C-alpha cells in the first residue's frame, strides 16, 4: 500500500507531496503545476497499483475569508483563496482523469494542523520513519507546516482505504 497526501497551493513551491511506502515517509516539494504533472507522469508506474491519494481540495469548502483589513489586503486574500481553490480542484481533476484512486477533502474535513510534537507521536505510533536521504527534518521532526499537512493527508488516506476494504 502506497499512501500519498498532496497539499497544493498556488504559490512558488506550493505543492507538497508526502509518500508513505513500507513505513518510510518521503516528501516532494514542487514549484509549479506543470512540474506537478511531470512528477505524476514520471511516477505513474510507482503509484498505479495499491495506492491511495488524498488531496486537500479547498474548492470543497465555500469559506468566506477574513474580511478585516484594508481593501487592498481583502482583495489580495480573495485572490489567494480563489487561486488555491482553483489549483486544488485542478489537481483532483487531473488525478481522477488519470484513473488514480484519489479523494479530495476540504480543509475543514482535514481538521486541525499538527505541530512538531504531535507529528512525532503519530510517527512513533505508526512506526514511520522519515527517509534519511532527504533533508526535510530536524532531529526527526517534520519541520515545515506544508509537509506536516501532506503527512496528515496521507494518514487520512490510510483511514479511507481501511474503511473501503
Report the number of distinct structural domains present in the chain.
1
Q: What is the pLDDT of residues 106-142, one digit of tens each?
A: 999 999 999 988 998 999 999 998 876 655 554 445 6
User: In the predicted model, what is the mean pLDDT of the chain?
Assistant: 84
What confidence score (pLDDT) does residue 139 get?
47
This prediction's pTM:
0.86
Q: What is the pLDDT of residues 47-76, one digit of tens each?
A: 776 789 999 998 888 765 566 777 777 676
How far apart (Å, rounded) are the C-alpha atoms in residues 36 and 68? 33
Helix (H, G, I), strand (E, B) or coil at 17: strand
Task: Identify whether the C-beta of residue 25 lies closer than 8 Å to the C-beta of residue 18.
Answer: yes
What confidence score (pLDDT) does residue 133 get?
63
Range of the domain at 64: 2-164
CATH number at residue 83: 3.30.420
Amino acid at each position: 500500500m502506497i499512501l500519498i497526501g498532496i497539499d497544493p497551493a498556488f504559490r512558488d513551491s506550493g505543492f507538497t507531496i508526502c509518500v508513505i511506502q513500507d513505513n518510510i515517509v518521503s516528501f516532494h516539494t514542487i514549484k509549479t503545476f506543470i512540474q506537478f504533472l511531470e512528477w505524476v507522469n514520471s511516477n505513474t508506474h510507482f503509484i498505479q497499483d495499491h495506492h491511495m491519494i488524498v488531496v486537500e481540495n479547498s474548492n470543497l469548502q465555500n469559506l468566506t475569508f477574513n474580511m478585516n483589513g484594508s481593501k487592498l489586503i481583502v482583495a489580495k486574500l480573495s485572490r489567494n483563496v480563489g487561486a488555491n481553490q482553483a489549483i486544488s480542484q485542478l489537481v483532483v481533476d487531473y488525478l481522477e482523469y488519470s484513473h488514480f484512486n484519489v479523494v479530495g477533502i476540504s480543509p475543514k474535513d482535514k481538521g486541525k494542523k499538527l505541530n512538531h510534537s504531535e507529528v512525532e507521536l503519530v510517527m512513533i505510533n505508526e512506526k514511520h520513519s522519515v527517509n534519511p536521504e532527504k533533508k526535510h527534518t530536524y532531529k526527526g521532526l517534520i519541520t515545515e507546516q506544508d509537509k506536516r499537512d501532506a503527512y496528515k493527508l496521507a494518514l487520512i488516506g490510510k483511514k479511507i482505504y481501511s474503511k473501503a476494504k
